[in-house]
Structure 1
Amino acid sequence: MKKDRAPDLTDARIAIVVETLDAWKGKLTWDLLIDAVEAATGHRYSRFTFAEYPQIANAFSLKKESLRGTLPRTRGEPRDERVRAAIAQADRYKSKVERLEAENQLLLEQFVTWATNAERKGVTMDMLNAPLPKPERERTKGTK
Structure 2
Amino acid sequence: MKKTRAPDLTDERIKLVLDTLDGWKGKLTWDLLIEAIQKITGITYSRFTFAEYPEIANAFSLRKEALRGTWKGERGQPRDERVRAALEQVERYKAKIERLEEQNQLLLEQFVTWAHNAERKGVTVMMLNAPLPKPERDRTKGVK
- The verdict on a shared fold, with TM-score over 0.5 as the criterion, is yes
Moved over 6 A (4+): none
Gaps of at least 5 residues in structure 2 are none
Work out the CA distance in 2 between the residues paired with 1:59 and 1:75: 26
1:25 aligns with 2:63: no
Residue aligning to 2:112: 112
| Letter in structure 2 aligned against 1:33 | L
Work out the CA distance in 2 between the residues paired with 1:143 and 1:10: 37
8 Å contact from structure 2 (residues 27, 71) kept in 1: no
Gaps of at least 5 residues in structure 1 are none
1:10 aligns with 2:10: yes
Work out the CA distance in 1 between the residues paired with 2:48 and 2:71: 29
Sequence identity, in percent? Answer: 76
Cα 1:116/1:69, change in 2 over 3 Å: farther
Query: What SS is found at the alignment partner of 1:122?
Result: coil
**TM-score, scaled to structure 1:** 0.92
Deviates more, 1:118-127 or 1:93-102: 118-127
Work out the CA distance in 2 between the residues paired with 1:142 and 1:84: 63
Cα 1:24/1:71, change in 2 over 3 Å: closer
**TM-score, scaled to structure 2:** 0.92
| Letter in structure 2 aligned against 1:64 | K
Q: Once superposed, what is the RMSD of the aligned Cα atoms? A: 1.6
Work out the CA distance in 1 between the residues paired with 2:39 and 2:68: 25
